[in-house]
Structure 1
Amino acid sequence: MNRDLLSKEMISQVRGEDEQEQTSGSYRAATGRNPISRLLDYVSGVFTPILPAMIGAGMIKVLISIFMSLGFLSDQQVFTSLLSDQQAYTILLVISDGVFYFLPILFAASAARKLNSNMFVAAAIGASVLHPRLTELFQSGEEVRFGDLSVIDGQSASSIILMLVVVWMASYVEKWLDKHTPYWLKVVAVPTLTLMIFIPLMMFVLGPLWGYLGQHLSDGLAWLFDNAGVFAGLLLGGAMSLLIMAGMQYIMVPIMISSLATLGYDHVFPVVVAAVLAQAGAAFGVLFKSKNVKVKTLAFWTGLLAMMGVVEPAMYGVTMRFKKPFVAALIGGALGGAFMSLFETEATAIGGISGLPSLGLFVGPTFIYAILGMLISLVTAGVITYFMGFVDEKDEHSQVVSTSGMNASPSPNSVVEKSPGS
């Protein structure tokens, strides 16, 4: 083989130059829109190739949740017909949770692919903050510092938005380094400098700032629930999907635990459930409104998963992708959350999954309000999605993920506006 050709091929592989013309082209086309639309396009486009893995893992998570709710499976009791020891239960949880635990790594690689930078360098950036040794330091309960610098915590490390911002910044620096580094040095210098710049930036600067912001949001929401009642439910129910995007969905957990310990019930978890059901409702709205069979299929299954508490596939793969359904989900979550707070709906425990399987946690004097609040979120988001309309996709140019996990970009004429009267 020609030596120059071999060298070019090696450099191409190292730089990760898989020229995804359709993907990068659609990304460039999106740059002419408003920033919010571009952000949603970016996040949804990054998520699309990961959908098959998340749907499969989500379905396993739902089945485990159903077995637990029926009493066949728990962390204290084994499913006797299948399981022989406690380790088997743990393995089942790992199977269902592995994709979600390492989602920042998958997002980083997918984002780099979309931005036409090295996806494995991006994955290394994401993997650094999930290393078991770093996790052990945080689990020790001591403050983790690097000299005088704070270090990213586990909550911030799970932030999808933070990871996408870091990979986006790294893509520009990586391409600049590639352009200005001597040819013979690129294979070493470009990935090394990229990692040396952006892992510390994320660990010691952006991550702690993100965690600091999350702590203040938690304190503010706690104050609202103590003093503002219905408005607190309205705000948290409407903002919960945004908190999931930011990786801050767990900021209210300490407040829930404290409330359960002191009062025996909690008013925050019902609002979270309302927001989850709103995402399911918006996905079902897409199901009934779309004329595209593939879109309808995806909306059905992701909506079903969201109803069972696994909200990410519906949010990233359907509602955020079509934009207006995402707005409808925020509105539905806000109204359902306000209803939950208005009638002081109580949860007697916190569930590991926050959809229909969590109904048993609301058994008590406010059980009927929990059901009504869920229905308000579900139906409101679905109805708003249907009548607000969205930009649908024609069958022949669908962007819906295939079984291989790859997506095809539509031509400029492959979308049609779904108006309320259509």
Structure 2
Amino acid sequence: MASKENQKIAKQVFDAIGGKNNIVSTAHCATRLRLVVHDRTKVDEKKLDQIDKAKGHFFTSGQYQIIFGTGLVNDVYEAVKEAGAATTSSADLNDVAAEKSGWFRKAIRMFADVFVPIIPALVATGLFMGLKGLITQPQILQIFGMTPKQIPAQFNTYFSILTGTAFDFLPVLVCWSAFRVFGGSPILGVLLGLMLVNPSLPSAWDVAQGTKPALMFFGVIPVAGYQASVLPAFILGFLGAKTEKWIHKHVVNSLDLIVTPFATLLIMSMLGLFIVGPIFRSVERGILYATEWIVQLPYGLGGLIWGGINQMVVVTGLHHALNIVEIQLLANTHWNQVNPISSASIAAQAGAVLAVAVKSHSSKIKQIAFPSTISALLGITEPAIYGINIRFLKPFLFGCVGGAAGGFLSSIFNLRATGMSITVIPGILLFLNQQLPLYILVCLVGFGVAFTLTYFFGYNDRMLKEER
């Protein structure tokens, strides 16, 4: 049974949200209580700000999300559940929220649902790359009386397996995830992805380097493997799942097991190799070139622009869709220029929220701001942004200025991560090479600029009184 304190918090949630009858459904993630409501006009957002132990709130993707932090959110959820609120799983709540949101939000959620599950594999691969870079540095090898030329061939082979597998078979991961999200059979997604990287096809690497020619079908269609390809696999996963479901509905049950997988794979393999694949590989290259062009704008302009708007993109929720850009950069170049710029922008939001924590005399603000600083330095900015920075606006804007300053330096130094999805302090693991001191400098500059501007110009307790 929930404690009296958590029962009180649950009652405050109900009062702020317009009553338990205004709640369509409730769930929680690691740090946030998430609610979908019938009528947003009944929600009192000022009361949401005053909920005990809440570190802030925001509305996104059709959901109110109240930040309580790890551990406490579980207890509050149980109290809300005991009090009679409708509850569900996070996945089902997303479905409910999607129905109440527009097509654009649905598209963003679709990208997130497909790509987020495969990110852990890419994070691990990036760390393997960083570890290899650390171990093979001449200075490290010198400690053991070795040079890079003396590294055993077996060692290089082992690290090639660790660092190459995820990208060589990336279409398999993407097709599997897309089939799963769009209602197809994941095993057919795996098989379709494997067809795209079948060893019978000349690999994408060999064709790009000119060591092997592409296979010519019908005399005009060049066909090669799709190693490290993302967008073609995503489109094929979407079309494949829809095709399988359509065939399944139009085939008699007695033939379904035979006809549906056969027809699905036959149709999608032809589309993949001869039509969809070549078209969207070209689109994919265009996205990659455009991203590289922006990030590599001269005089550090690319980093300045991206560092300045990065956390604005987070506020909109579009950052989930941009995972495809980082995945594509890593898959094609094995480097990620976006990550250090993002780290600088995240560190800057941490600097801004820490300035508020230090300067404010409000115990409530300090209780939110100090833990939010730690969270941001570990790569999670939502508590800082929604709990403090965007609430008072100037700290958020000065955080963006700090991100622009750090991003500018990142571009000037041409910093490149070996992986993705871990930033600031954990992100150090992606720079275990000669870049590490510069990476730390970039993060410190973003943090320091935002802290200084916010401390002197971005916050005072009068702003809290005016808000009240």
TM-score range (shorter-chain normalised) is: 0.5 to 0.7
Tell me, yes or no, if the aligned pair for 2:348 and 2:446 is still in contact at 8 Å: yes
Q: Which has the higher contact order (CA 8 A, sep 6+)?
A: 1
2:112 paired residue number: 44
Deviations 1:355-375 (A, max 9, x none): 646486569xxx87x755444
1:145–1:284 distance in 2 versus 1, CA, 3 Å:
farther
Q: Deviations over 1:174-216 (max 9, x none)?
A: 1111011122221121111211222332333333233323444
Match for 2:340: what amino acid?
V
> Which stretches in structure 2 are left out of the alignment for 5+ residues?
1-87, 314-318, 358-364, 391-395, 421-426, 453-466
Q: Which amino acid aligns with 1:139?
A: D
**Cα gap change, 1:86/1:109 in structure 2, threshold over 3 Å: closer, same or farther?**
same
From the superposition, tell whether residues 113 and 244 of structure 1 become closer, same or farther in structure 2 (CA, over 3 Å). closer
Choose the corresponding residue for 2:240, options 146, 151, 170: 170
2:206 aligns with one of 139, 151, 154? 139
C-alpha separation in 2, matches of 1:167 and 1:381: 43
SS at match of 2:412: coil
User: How far 1:60 sits from its partner (Å)?
Assistant: 4.1
**TM-score normalised over the length of structure 1:** 0.54
2:408 corresponding residue in structure 1? 339
Other-structure match for 1:307: none
For 2:446 and 2:105, the matched residues in 1 are separated by 24
- Which residue is equivalent to 2:5? none
- 1:90 correspondence with 2:157: yes
> Against the structure 1 CA distance between its residues 224 and 350, is the aligned structure 2 distance closer, same or farther, given a 3 Å change threshold?
closer
Superposed, 1:71-110 pairs within 5 Å as: 71-72=139-140, 85-110=152-177
- Show the 5 A alignment for 1:9-20: none
**Correspondences of 1:114-193 after superposition (within 5 Å):** 114-136=181-203, 138-140=205-207, 141=210, 142-147=213-218, 148-151=220-223, 154=226, 157-159=228-230, 161-193=231-263
Aligned-residue Cα RMSD (Å) equals: 5.6
Tell me how many residue pairs correspond in the alignment: 318
Letter aligned with residue 247 of structure 2: L
Contact in 1 for aligned 2:138/2:147 (Cα 8 Å): no
**Which residue pairs with 2:264 in the alignment?**
194
SS in 2 for 1:90: helix
Deviation at 1:91, TM superposition (A): 0.6
Deviation at 1:102, TM superposition (A): 2.8
Q: Is the 8 A contact 2:192 2:269 kept in 1?
A: yes
Moved more, 161-170 or 218-227: 218-227
Aligned to 2:178: 111
8 Å Cα contact 2:288/2:329 also seen in 1:
no
Percent of pairs with identical residues:
21
Computing the radius of gyration from Cα coordinates, the structure with the larger value is 2
CA shift digits 1:278-312 (9 cap, x unpaired): 468789999x99x9xxxx9xx79xx86xxxxxxxx
Q: Separation in 1 of the partners of 2:266 and 2:350?
A: 41
1:125 positional shift: 1.7
Deviation at 1:118, TM superposition (A): 0.4
Decide whether aligned partners of structure 1 residues 271 and 58 sit closer, same or farther in structure 2, where only a CA change above 3 A counts: closer
Cα distance in structure 2, aligned partners of 1:122 and 1:93: 25
2-side partners of 1:186 and 1:213: how far apart?
35
Aligned equivalents of 2:287, 2:177: Cα separation in 1: 29
Q: In the alignment, residue 211 of structure 1 is paired with which amino acid?
A: R
1:116 offset after TM fit, Å? 3.1
- CA distance 1:340–1:205, change in 2 (3 Å): farther
Relative distance call for 1:212 and 1:48 in structure 2 (3 A) is: closer
